[in-house]
Amino acid sequence: MNEPATALLFPGQGSQTATMRETVERYRPELLELALEVSGDDPFAHAGEGTHFTQPAIYCASLAGFTRLGEPAAELMAGHSLGEFAALVAAGALSPEDGLRLVALRGRLTRNADERSRGGMLAVRGGAEQAAPLAERHGLTVANDNSPDQMVLSGAREAIDAAAADAESEGLRAIALPVAGAFHSPLMAPAVAPLEAALAEVEFRDPRTTVICAGSAKPFEDPRRELAQGLLAPVRWRETLLALRERGAERYVETGPGKVLSGLVRKTLGRDVEALSADSPEPAHV
């Protein structure tokens, strides 16, 4: 009898934990040294202070979690936004060092774009029926379709605040996220061209396994284009999980840090699949 297919999941921004540095130092010390260099400071000590620190820290911690799992050859992989860089590295399509340099640049570019736009993000409890009209009324973008009961809106800070008040008056649960930036919205447009230029200089290889792009919910076809456009495109995470399930995935293992994606697996696919995380006292066995 064949073993059920496993999908490895790599988290994005918002998944940072206090133990990231310790995990990286133990399992990927070479990435820790490079992270200090490309960030200009210790990104783990400043995680949460800006994307230029948070994104490199999470990227390194995701690959450290992958190593902690024994770098398994899973049948399927996917990453949530930032996590796509780590997923492509784990699949052999990109070197860890190139991935880290790209992520550090991405973090700086998104920080600079936010300094111009002063944007934000709003998590809305509910599906498209609740979130889409709210976004349209306030000129916001649906940035993340995370699960059947969680959508994230993105846009100018004033519009985010107005949408939050509007949601409350309608009895919807909406929470402004502690992020500095209107990610996956047109306000990130200034970051696209510089990231495209950097991606053009990096070698990409054919991945060893199928990596689903969260911007299309289909396998990556042109990582350079898809990673650059991912700054603007919504994260179709619910559809990505459904695509993984359709391809036979019954076990979903999150590399960490955190357990955000494991929770979204349960909300989207129910209890008939196995959702595990490496970021636990006893890491998941793959």
Low-confidence stretches of the chain (pLDDT < 70) are 1-2, 280-286
pLDDT reported for residue 286: 61
Has residue 282 been placed in a domain? no
Has residue 284 been placed in a domain? no
pLDDT reported for residue 179: 79
Has residue 212 been placed in a domain? yes
- Are residues 41 and 111 located together in one domain of the fold? yes
- Are residues 223 and 105 located together in one domain of the fold? yes
CA 189 to chain centre: 18
- Are residues 204 and 273 located together in one domain of the fold? yes
62-94 burial, b if ≥16 CB within 10 A, otherwise e? bbbbbbbbeeeebbbbbbbbbbbbbbbbbbebb
- Are residues 111 and 226 located together in one domain of the fold? yes
184 is catalytic: yes
Has residue 285 been placed in a domain? no
∠ CA 230-127-78, nearest 5°, is 35
- Are residues 268 and 233 located together in one domain of the fold? yes
pLDDT reported for residue 278: 86
* DSSP label at residue 109: H
Has residue 164 been placed in a domain? yes
User: How many residues are listed for the chain in this entry?
Assistant: 286
What residue numbers bound the domain in which 229 lies? 5-115+186-277
Active-site choice (81, 117, 147, 277): 81
pLDDT reported for residue 102: 98
- Are residues 108 and 37 located together in one domain of the fold? yes
Q: What is the pTM of this model?
A: 0.95
Has residue 181 been placed in a domain? no
- Are residues 207 and 87 located together in one domain of the fold? yes
Which tokens in the block code for residue 118? 């002063």
Which tokens in the block code for residue 74? 């899973």
What are the beta bridge partners of residue 275?
A: 252
Amino acid at residue number 107: G
Active-site choice (15, 184, 262, 277): 184
Q: Report the domain count for the chain.
A: 2
pLDDT reported for residue 1: 41
- CATH code at 139? 3.30.70.250
pLDDT reported for residue 14: 86
Please give the Cα distance from 264 to 241 (Å, whole number): 9
- Are residues 86 and 171 located together in one domain of the fold? no
Please give the Cα distance from 225 to 231 (Å, whole number): 11
46 is catalytic: no
- Are residues 95 and 203 located together in one domain of the fold? yes
- Are residues 246 and 229 located together in one domain of the fold? yes
